[in-house]
Structure 1
């Protein structure tokens, strides 16, 4: 049996804000969505041919709807990787033990402005969840997950420098993540989830500027949900003891 280790509190959905939900589940679709995002990020980083194809499209195409744009990138980047996603075997619903729910004061932290604002009372989940988790593409999802999560940590850490104790959290996170088996960022952790997807292009300044100009969206998530009492941002987690089949 594999373990999902929550290194910082998990907010499974907005249904856990200002109310205690009746059904306490984490859904496999959330985990697979993370892996899809990580695979796209990693593929664009490692595959020069793919990167140049997507780069050419972004720099030359006329503006289309954001959903159409995202679908093009996703379809192109995952054209030969759908089998990796289909091969991840986890239960559709993962039951959360109510005793590990904790009511907290949830804040929205703007890392750029170094400003916190109260968002609401929330029920977050902490601890370790035992889950069946199998994949015959273990090394590929491990590499993609490390690449994406470590890049996110670095981007957020950069914005916390010189900002007191939140920087301490990211210093420790930056060090410990390298020892995680398969790192993830799960649940609700930013009010702007599109930024987490567009972070695919953060490493290319020309592409980054083009996407910003077209869609007026920040490519590096800088507004994050934060729990001051824990001095933690949300969703940092790890899958351990994955069975490679």
Structure 2
């Protein structure tokens, strides 16, 4: 079962669509799981952390960073091999709405842009995600979601959204079986693929100096009508 607890969209233009309706592609779910696994095993394995750090500090090519980091992690920890995710996850039309989305700048602590986008929220009972490594994936997703929510909580401290982040953190800790962050929820390069290195100043400064890119999130996307940050969901066995 797949549950989207907050409004979720695949990309800024909404969802992909074919003759059977609008859908989220397999890659959107897989990428969310990959981000979690990358974070978890770099955090857990100091040798792997050193290997990835070395790569990031040797002037990597911008377009290849996520791919190359994932390659190094999955060569050692192939926990997503053989995972079964539907190629197209079709969405009930009645659960899709066109919403005003606001971009909240985490540095300025204010909204800087807004736009309209199709979002989905609801339960997809018939969606089955299967893996022989489900327990390892669960551990990775829990660890990643906790770290991501903690970062956003710190960034949103003393704003009107602090209580909302506390609620999300409580759900991650106590309610959601396998928490995931899916789709277009930030404009941050690489989304959460480099979450582990957001707190490593040496790596951040190097990439900023040599590649002119800040890997930390600059913003999060917010739905004012429902008071939600985009993309939070859950996989249930």
Partners of 1:160 and 1:34 lie apart in 2 by: 23
Which residue among 71, 76, 93 is the counterpart of 2:67?
A: 71
Which residue among 126, 129, 145 is the counterpart of 2:124?
A: 129
Judge conservation of contact 1:16–1:123 (CA < 8 Å) in 2: yes
Matched with 1:14 is 12
Are 2:97 and 1:99 aligned? Answer: no
Are 2:197 and 1:201 aligned? Answer: yes
Partners of 2:65 and 2:182 lie apart in 1 by: 24
**How much is the aligned-residue C-alpha RMSD, in angstroms?**
2.0
> Are the structure 2 counterparts of residues 57 and 126 from structure 1 closer, same or farther at C-alpha, using a change threshold of 3 Å?
closer
Q: Report deviation, 1:68.
A: 3.3
Are 2:210 and 1:214 aligned? Answer: yes
Q: How does 1:175-194 map to 2 (within 5 A)?
A: 175-179=170-174, 180-194=176-190
Matched with 1:27 is 25
Name the SS of the counterpart of 1:170 in structure 2.
helix
Name the SS of the counterpart of 1:183 in structure 2.
strand
Question: Please, which runs of 5 or more residues in structure 1 have no aligned partner?
Answer: none
Matched with 1:43 is 41
Higher helix share: 1
Q: Report deviation, 1:118.
A: 4.1
Judge conservation of contact 2:39–2:194 (CA < 8 Å) in 1: no
Q: How big is each residue's C-alpha offset from its partner over 1:140-186, in whole Å with a ceiling of 9 and x where there is no partner? A: 1011111111111111110111112x111101111111121101000
Partners of 2:14 and 2:191 lie apart in 1 by: 22
Matched with 1:238 is 234
Judge conservation of contact 2:2–2:128 (CA < 8 Å) in 1: no
Are 2:145 and 1:149 aligned? Answer: yes
Judge conservation of contact 2:23–2:88 (CA < 8 Å) in 1: yes
Judge conservation of contact 1:196–1:219 (CA < 8 Å) in 2: no
Q: How big is each residue's C-alpha offset from its partner over 1:100-121, in whole Å with a ceiling of 9 and x where there is no partner? A: 1122211111121112134222
Question: Please, which runs of 5 or more residues in structure 2 have no aligned partner?
Answer: none
Name the SS of the counterpart of 2:100 in structure 1.
strand
Partners of 2:171 and 2:88 lie apart in 1 by: 28
User: Bigger CA drift: 230-239 or 202-211?
Assistant: 202-211
In the superposition, the TM-score normalised over structure 2's length comes to 0.90
Matched with 2:223 is 227
Q: How big is each residue's C-alpha offset from its partner over 1:181-221, in whole Å with a ceiling of 9 and x where there is no partner? A: 10100011112342422323123232232223222222221
Are 2:136 and 1:140 aligned? Answer: yes
